[in-house]
Structures are given as C-alpha cells and as structure tokens.
Amino acid sequence: MSIITLLTDFGTDDEYVGLMKGVILSINPSATIVDLTHQIDSQDIVQAAFTIHSGYHYFPEGTVHLIVVDPGVGTERGLLALKLKNHFFIAPDNGVLTLLLNEKEISSLVLISNSSFFRAAVSRTFHGRDILAPVGAHVANGLDINELGPDIDVQNVVCLENLGARRIKNGEIRGQIVAIDHFGNLITNIDSELLTGSLHAGPEKKIQIKIRSNTINGLSETYGGVRSNTPLALIGSRGYLEIAINEGNAAQFLKAKKKDPVRVLV
Amino acid sequence: MSIITLLTDFGTDDEYVGLMKGVILSINPSATIVDLTHQIDSQDIVQAAFTIHSGYHYFPEGTVHLIVVDPGVGTERGLLALKLKNHFFIAPDNGVLTLLLNEKEISSLVLISNSSFFRAAVSRTFHGRDILAPVGAHVANGLDINELGPDIDVQNVVCLENLGARRIKNGEIRGQIVAIDHFGNLITNIDSELLTGSLHAGPEKKIQIKIRSNTINGLSETYGGVRSNTPLALIGSRGYLEIAINEGNAAQFLKAKKKDPVRVLV
Amino acid sequence: MSIITLLTDFGTDDEYVGLMKGVILSINPSATIVDLTHQIDSQDIVQAAFTIHSGYHYFPEGTVHLIVVDPGVGTERGLLALKLKNHFFIAPDNGVLTLLLNEKEISSLVLISNSSFFRAAVSRTFHGRDILAPVGAHVANGLDINELGPDIDVQNVVCLENLGARRIKNGEIRGQIVAIDHFGNLITNIDSELLTGSLHAGPEKKIQIKIRSNTINGLSETYGGVRSNTPLALIGSRGYLEIAINEGNAAQFLKAKKKDPVRVLV
C-alpha cells in the first residue's frame, strides 16, 4: 500500500493528469493515487505552497506528494525531493515548498539528478509526466530519496519571501488573500496562531477585520453565525482567517480578488 | 476491499475532497474511493437526494456512501447513518436521505454521536473531513453502525415533502426539473413507473409533455429519435422523464432551469 | 491488479462517470480506474481519437481503455473491442479507434455482441454504463475479447478520413488544430515525424508556421523560449506540433479555434 497525491495547475480538461497516473502505475501498480487538486491557478506558486502545507498532514505517514506547479519547466530550475515528518514531497525548486521548509523538521532534502529514475525520453515541456511521476512512483515503492541525487542545503533552495502575514508595532496584523474557494470564501495567509497569539482574540473579542472598504467586527464560529448576505470572518478549516458571506459568495459580494490586503485591528 | 463513494457540492476547484480522501485512507488504507459527483449545485439537497437514490444501486453491496451537502454544518443539525439493502449511507439529517427512507427496507437508522470515531479536532465548518470521512472509513472497515450512536425512528428525521411528481385527477402528472446535466438535458422528478402506470404510455402513445411554452408529443427512445434541434422527451438512464434536444442543449434551447414545472397530459 | 482508463465527453458535473465506476467495481472489485479525461468536447470523435492514440502507451500493458464518445448511442452503430500491443480498447464503431487501427499491429478486433457480459437491463441512452463498463470490467478480469463477439475485419469498421496532416508538393505541410488545452495551447495534428521527416527541421531551421494571420518563425524547445506574450511553436508533449504563448493563452491571443488550418512552410 502506498499513497501518492497530485497537486497541479493542470486543470482536468486534458489528459495530462491521466498520463501522469499511467506512468505512476507502470512503475507502482498498486499505488493509490489521490488528486489533491488540479485547479491551482495557473503558475500560482503561492497558492500551491499554502495548499500543500495546510493539507499534507491529513494523509498517512509515508505518503508521497507530487507538486507540479512549474512555470520554469524546461529551464535550468532544479527539482527537489524532501522528507519531512515521514512525508515525501517531490517538487520544482521554485519556492512551492517554502512553508514546509520553514517547519525545520527536515529529514532529507535532495536535488534530483539521477536520471535512471526518469522516463527514458524526457520532454522539455512535461516534467510532471516524465520526471516527477516516475520519481514519485519509485519513492512510493520504497526508494530512499538519497538515491535521487545529492543533498542540498535549505539555504540553497528557492524560498518565497513574505508568504505569511505579519504583525506590526501597534498589534495590527497585515496579510492578504491567497486563495478563493469554490464557495467564494476568501482564504487569507493569517493563521490562527498569529491571530490568537497576537490578539488573544476569541469570538467575543472586539477585533476588526478590514478588507477593501469593509469592516467586519469580531470572529464568527460558523458560516451561519450572522444574518444572510452579511460578511463574516472565521478561522476556516485550513486553520487560517477566512472571510465569507452567510448564504452568499464573498468574492463576488466584496469584489475581492487574490492578493487583496486584509488587515486585523485590535 | 471496501468501496466508499463521495457525493458533495464542494466542486473540484479546491483541495477539500482530496483532504477527505486523506482522512479516509489514514483509517482505511485499502479503501477504493469513488467520486459520485462533487458538482451538486451549492446546498441543493433535492438534487443530491435524487442523485444518491437513483445511483447507489450501481455499486456493489457493502458500499459506504458519504453525502456531504450540508448547509447546516456547524449548527445543531444531526448526522445520520443508514443501512438499507446492504448499502451504508452517512449524511446530515437534512432530508437528503428522503427517497431512500421511502424505500422502507431499512436495516438500521442511527443518529451519529460517538465522537471516538471522529477526528480528534473537529472544525466547525468542515464536518465532511472531520466527521463523515472518518466515520465512513470505519464503517467501510466493518464497524457496525450501531456503534455510532442510538437508533432513531424514521419519524424523527428530517424528510423533504413533495419530492416526487404527482398525478392529479384527470390523469395529468405534475412534476418539475430537478437537475440539468452536462449535455443540457433536463431531468425531471417524474419516474417511469408513475408515467407508465398512469398513462399506459409507450413510444406509440399520444401523450404530451408541456414545459414552459413548449409541447412535446410522445416519447422517444433515443436522443436521435427526432430531427436535429428538436425537443424530445424520453425515459432517461436514471429512470426518470428527461427532456433533451437532438444534437443540442435543451436547457439553453428552452431557456429552462431547475424547478421549472413539467406537466404530462394524456 | 488490473487497470481501466476512462475517456469520455461526459464532463464531471454529473454522476455518470461515477456510475460507470460502480458497475466496473461490482464486477471487478480490485480494478484501478483512471480518468484519462472526461472533457472531450461533446461528441468530438476526432479529439478523442488523438487523445487515446497519443496517451495509451503511458499505461502498463494489459490496461483496458474504455472510450465513450458516442453520438450514435441507441442507434444501430456497433461496439468494438480491440487488442493492440497488449492494450485493450472498448469503443463505439464510429472512427474513434482510427489512429490505433492505422498502427497495423492488431492482435484481435471484435464486434461486441455477447450480451451475457452486459448489464441485465440495457438503457437506450447510456451504453457506457450498461455495456462498455461491464464489458471492460470483464476484460480487465482476464476475459478473452474473442468471447465478446465475432472477429471483424478492419476494412469493415468505421475509419475517419484525413485525420492526419499531409505534405503537399512543395514540401508544405497542411494540418489543423485538433485540441485546445487548459493553458490555451493549440495542439495540431502535425506529428513530429512528419515535421522532421519532411523538413529536416530543427530549432535552428528556418521553417515558418502559419496560423490565421500570424507567422511564427522556427521551432522553440520550451514555452519560455521567446519573449512574454509572443507566439511560439514547439513539439508538444504529445509529440505533435503545438502553438503556444509564453506566459499567455494562445487560443485567446490568436483567437484560434479547433479545426483552424495550420500550415508549415519550408
């Protein structure tokens, strides 16, 4: 039994994801392959970084996570294999692993170079199929990731700056929207720890959340915590501050988009 | 070998369905998980009720069906586990099981309360991941659903009224559109039994189907049974009256939408 | 261990694909089912023909491929089972297998007629669920496809004309767009063999690609091979000439659509 998750920006209109699965099953016929999502916005490394970081621990230890959000495919960018808390991550060296690398419990971090685990013919445009899928299948088969290439120091891989929200002097938190989900909920990069640690805030606390020209007072516990069609803020299931509309679509209602700033005031 | 189906309104843009699968596989690593569909219209309990009822019996006995169309998540609504014809259903107590409960061959019906089968931390907004997925995984592992909580009488669970179509005095049938599929076909709540029982109708019979300002004469046997771009009615693969356009999109052509009334006249 | 792929134009809005999986698992509970894609444009047999032909060989030998792009469902069109290079294909006799049949390494080609491998009740409108799924599950279980019906000569099945691109007298190649992917890349029917065989072209060679009113000079090796927002041509991961925009959407930028002609000049 081995589990491989796929996180890509390929969408599901095409056969690309299906071909990756074919390659995996050719090497590891008993793999259980799970689509984490293929709807990362095209080339959005930040969104992918939050998605894998907040999601991987729902899978059992030993799971292999393939992340194929890879604007630099075919260029000289490297490919990484990471072992962390007994999970495995195979991804381009483009910052998509930043939040995981910040966890500082790295067992191994390797620059993938051993082409004996690649497909025989590697296209210039589809490393997901020709490198990441076969490498992931071998790792799920038990291959030690140190067989994939030399160790690389975390200082030498690409990390994204300012991914997280930050607290400024007066206690205010400044973050931004990093994802908008199917329901139109706005997911921020303000995690519950920063929020509660900084403000000792609870549902009862009089904090204010500012987004565009709107002010939301206090945190709700559920989407149903306010009147219909009223904006609310809550700690979402990801563990991050989320802005929603009871029975509505917050992205449409607030005309909000990714990267819009979100501020939390004491 | 155990099979778990997922029926939700989550869409596939986000990682939510993937996380449910991670939770299931953490408990039941050999489960085969099938997406029935995640494109139930947001919070449309009626559409979900017809989908699970017309679909479950295509799966083998012993299958566990998780239904997460749950507008009331985080409120006091209950969660149910149902055993029926050797299939298992885990769902909110919001009426989504109505058509199944009408089958009156219930082996067990239980109000889920035993939190030892939930995830340790249960969010207020994502019971699909934190309760239904782990409970379903345990049931697929062989857990007796009576371990999940006390029996509940079918009289005491939420059932939807007037889900089905009905025959009125002159033999006319009054129903409505309950789903519109990818091809634009309009799926009604008028089942073939009601249609044939009431009208002794066949393809040769001169029944009329009224939808919006259109009248369709007689039933076709296939989508190709009329000229191109002509509306037709047939018993669809679900076993319900369906309105379609040969080589076209009936929803667009007829400007039809869900809940539009459909009448069948002798 | 047996693998079954699904290639359809059903989309994923509805439960149709899920029901096919239920039928397969009822017969072959240990099957691994892979969605190749369900987003073939409605009834586009040409797009499906290229997708299965360029994709099947990424799966291990013994895989069973179900192709349900079937405008003629319910009419007298036949259903075929093909064994080729130790892969199995189950599909309507409508030309979708044309490119595979051109490979001329056919082990068996059979007209499916033995209804003992169908579901007991066969609807007129959903043979994917009622015939192809159960037949495919039995083949994945090891059933000899000759049990499905009589041999049929390749001369007697429907084949599509002019699927491929062609070279005309002056060395010019004339092809067309057969698919547009999620990224807006335009995939042609001009394969790399025709291109290189005809033109001895390489990245360095001064060929010209004409699409609509645009001329692209030379082939790139990667999507990043030109300035941002500039059209480029390359041999895509399918092995066919592809037209793309670096960091952009070629379909939108060039206002291109399927069936648009593409010419390659020496």
Indicate the DSSP class of residue B171: S
Check whether residue C171 and residue C110 sit in a common domain.
no
Residue A122: inside a domain: yes
Q: Which of A12-16, C122-126, C197-201, C207-211 is predicted least confidently? A: C197-201
C95-128 burial by CB neighbour count: b if 16+ within 10 A, else e? bbbbbbbeeeeeeebbbbeeeebbbeeebbbbbb
Mapped onto helix, strand or coil, the DSSP state of residue B17 is helix
- Cα separation of C20 and C123, whole Å? 13
Non-local (6+) Cβ contacts of B193 within 8 A are none
- Left (φ > 0), alpha (ψ -120 to 50) or beta: where does C157 sit? beta
**For B57-93, what is each residue's pLDDT tens digit?**
999 999 999 999 998 888 889 999 999 999 999 999 9
Check whether residue A69 and residue A180 sit in a common domain.
no
Contact A129, A23 (CB under 8 A): yes
Residue C108: inside a domain: yes
Check whether residue A56 and residue A138 sit in a common domain.
yes
What is the band of C253 on the pLDDT scale with cuts at 50, 70, 90?
A: very high
Query: Residue B223: which of C10, C30, C125 has the nearest Cβ?
Result: C125
- Cα separation of A30 and A4, whole Å? 11
- The answer to whether A13 contacts chain B (CB < 8 Å) is no
**What residues in C contact B39, CB-CB < 8 Å?**
12-14
Which of B67, B66, B2, B64 is CA-nearest to residue B28? B2
Contact B216, B209 (CB under 8 A): yes
C179-213 burial by CB neighbour count: b if 16+ within 10 A, else e? bbbbbbbbbbbbbeebbeebbebeeeeebebebee
Q: Which amino acid is at A69?
A: V
**What residues in A contact C5, CB-CB < 8 Å?**
18, 22
Indicate the DSSP class of residue A115: G
Residue A161: inside a domain: no
Mapped onto helix, strand or coil, the DSSP state of residue A17 is helix
Of A49-53, B200-204, C262-266, highest mean pLDDT: A49-53
Q: CA-based diameter of chain A, in Å?
A: 61
Across the beta sheet with A2-8, the strand order is A31-37, A2-8, A64-68, A87-92, A79-84, A106-111
**What residues in C contact B224, CB-CB < 8 Å?**
72, 74-75
Query: Is the CB of B22 less than 8 angstroms away from the CB of A7?
Result: no
- Structural domain ending residue among the three candidates A156, A187, A208: A156
- The answer to whether C74 contacts chain B (CB < 8 Å) is yes
pLDDT score of B170: 84
| C180 token code pair | 């547009």
Check whether residue C109 and residue C45 sit in a common domain.
yes
Picking from A4, A13, A38 by the largest number of C CB atoms within 10 A of its own CB, the best residue to mutate is A13
Chain B's closest residue to A9, CA to CA, is: B13
Which of C81, C80, C67, C14 is CA-nearest to residue C36? C67
- Cα separation of B182 and C126, whole Å? 14
Residue A203 in this model has a pLDDT that exceeds 70: no
The three-point CA angle B99-B52-B80 to 5° equals: 70
Q: Are strands B87-92 and A87-92 parallel, antiparallel or unpaired?
A: unpaired
Query: Residue A15: which of C36, C221, C236 has the nearest Cβ?
Result: C36
Element (H, E) at C16: helix C16-27
What is the band of C201 on the pLDDT scale with cuts at 50, 70, 90?
A: very low
Domains held by chain B: number: 2
**What residues in C contact B58, CB-CB < 8 Å?**
19, 22-23, 26, 129
Alpha-helical runs (H) found in chain A: 16-27, 45-55, 98-101, 127, 133-140, 192-199, 250-253
- The answer to whether B34 contacts chain A (CB < 8 Å) is no
pLDDT score of A146: 97
Q: Which amino acid is at B254?
A: L
Output the pTM of the full model.
Answer: 0.94
Contact partners for chain A, using 3 or more CB pairs closer than 8 A, are B, C
What is the band of C204 on the pLDDT scale with cuts at 50, 70, 90?
A: very low
Mapped onto helix, strand or coil, the DSSP state of residue A100 is helix
Picking from B2, B13, B69 by the largest number of A CB atoms within 10 A of its own CB, the best residue to mutate is B13
Check whether residue A87 and residue A119 sit in a common domain.
yes
Contact C54, C30 (CB under 8 A): no
Non-local (6+) Cβ contacts of C228 within 8 A are C246, C247, C248
Contact partners for chain B, using 3 or more CB pairs closer than 8 A, are A, C
> Which residues are bridge partners to B4 per DSSP?
B33, B64
Check whether residue B143 and residue B188 sit in a common domain.
no
**CATH code for position C203:** 2.40.30.90
- Cα separation of C208 and C231, whole Å? 12
Check whether residue C152 and residue C170 sit in a common domain.
no
**For A129-171, what is each residue's pLDDT tens digit?**
999 999 999 999 999 999 999 999 999 999 999 899 999 988 8
**What residues in B contact A12, CB-CB < 8 Å?**
12
- Cα separation of B168 and B129, whole Å? 44
**What residues in C contact B12, CB-CB < 8 Å?**
12
Query: Residue A37: which of B14, B25, B33 has the nearest Cβ?
Result: B14
Check whether residue B103 and residue B47 sit in a common domain.
yes
Residue C161: inside a domain: no
- Structural domain ending residue among the three candidates A156, A178, A212: A156
**For C228-248, what is each residue's pLDDT tens digit?**
888 999 999 999 999 999 888
Residue C43 in this model has a pLDDT that exceeds 50: yes
Q: Which amino acid is at B42?
A: S
- Cα separation of C41 and C9, whole Å? 6
pLDDT score of C148: 98
Query: Is the CB of C3 less than 8 angstroms away from the CB of A10?
Result: no
**CATH code for position B107:** 3.40.50.10790
Instruction: Average the pLDDT over A190-209 and give the result.
Output: 72
What is the band of B204 on the pLDDT scale with cuts at 50, 70, 90?
A: very low
- Cα separation of C20 and C23, whole Å? 5
| C181 token code pair | 């992917």
Check whether residue C139 and residue C176 sit in a common domain.
no
* ipTM rounded to 2 decimals: 0.94
Check whether residue A131 and residue A224 sit in a common domain.
no
Check whether residue A17 and residue A97 sit in a common domain.
yes
Query: Is the CB of C22 less than 8 angstroms away from the CB of B58?
Result: yes
- Cα separation of A7 and A34, whole Å? 9
- Cα separation of A7 and A69, whole Å? 8
Residue C199 in this model has a pLDDT that exceeds 80: no
**What residues in A contact B8, CB-CB < 8 Å?**
none
Helix axes A45-55, B16-27, angle to 10 degrees: 30
Query: Residue B60: which of C14, C26, C43 has the nearest Cβ?
Result: C26
pLDDT score of C224: 76
What is the average pLDDT value for chain B, to the nearest integer? Answer: 93
Query: Is the CB of B223 less than 8 angstroms away from the CB of C73?
Result: yes
Contact B171, B250 (CB under 8 A): no
Picking from A1, A2, A15, A42 by the largest number of C CB atoms within 10 A of its own CB, the best residue to mutate is A15
**What residues in C contact B221, CB-CB < 8 Å?**
74, 124
**What residues in B contact C30, CB-CB < 8 Å?**
1
Q: Other CB atoms closer than 10 Å to residue A255's CB: what's the count? A: 10
Chain B's closest residue to A246, CA to CA, is: B71
Which of A63, A86, A87 is CA-nearest to residue B22? A63
* Selected residues 214-233 of chain A with any CB under 8 Å from a CB in chain B: 221-224
Picking from B6, B16, B19, B44 by the largest number of A CB atoms within 10 A of its own CB, the best residue to mutate is B19
Check whether residue A149 and residue A198 sit in a common domain.
no
Q: How far is C44 from chain B (nearest CA, A)?
A: 12
- Cα separation of C219 and C216, whole Å? 8
| Alpha carbon A64 to its chain's center | 15
Q: Which of B127-141, B158-172, B216-230, B239-253 is predicted least confidently? A: B216-230
Query: Taking the C-alpha atoms of B228, B229, B233 and B236 in order, what is their torsion angle to the nearest 10 degrees?
Result: 80
* Through-space distance between the first and last CA atoms of chain B, rounded to whole angstroms: 49
- The answer to whether B72 contacts chain A (CB < 8 Å) is yes
Picking from C14, C35, C40, C75 by the largest number of B CB atoms within 10 A of its own CB, the best residue to mutate is C14
Non-local (6+) Cβ contacts of C73 within 8 A are B222, B223, C92, C124, C125, C126, C127, C128
Which of A110, A155, A102 is CA-nearest to residue A135? A110
Query: Is the CB of C55 less than 8 angstroms away from the CB of A129?
Result: no
Mapped onto helix, strand or coil, the DSSP state of residue A41 is coil
Mapped onto helix, strand or coil, the DSSP state of residue C248 is strand
| C25 token code pair | 């698992």
> Chains A, C: CB contacts under 8 A, how many?
83
Domain hosting C36: range is 3-156
Mapped onto helix, strand or coil, the DSSP state of residue C6 is strand
Mapped onto helix, strand or coil, the DSSP state of residue A91 is strand
Q: CA-based diameter of chain B, in Å?
A: 61
Residue B161: inside a domain: no
Residue C113: inside a domain: yes
What is the band of B31 on the pLDDT scale with cuts at 50, 70, 90?
A: very high
Residue A183: inside a domain: yes
- Cα separation of B82 and B65, whole Å? 10
- The answer to whether C142 contacts chain B (CB < 8 Å) is no
- Structural domain ending residue among the three candidates A156, A174, A191: A156
**For B36-60, what is each residue's pLDDT tens digit?**
999 999 899 999 999 999 999 999 9
Phi, psi of A89, rounded to the nearest 5 degrees: -130, 130
What is the SS3 string spanning B114-154? CHHHCCCCCCCCCHHHHHHHHHHHHHHCCCCHHHCCCECCH
Handedness of CA A145, A151, A153, A158 (dihedral sign): negative
- The answer to whether B176 contacts chain C (CB < 8 Å) is no
- The answer to whether A246 contacts chain B (CB < 8 Å) is no
- Cα separation of A120 and B198, whole Å? 65
> Chains A, B: CB contacts under 8 A, how many?
83
Q: How far is B55 from chain C (nearest CA, A)?
A: 7
- The answer to whether B11 contacts chain C (CB < 8 Å) is no
Which of C157, C158, C175 is CA-nearest to residue C166? C175
- Cα separation of B135 and B141, whole Å? 10
B155-165 burial by CB neighbour count: b if 16+ within 10 A, else e? eebbbeeebbb
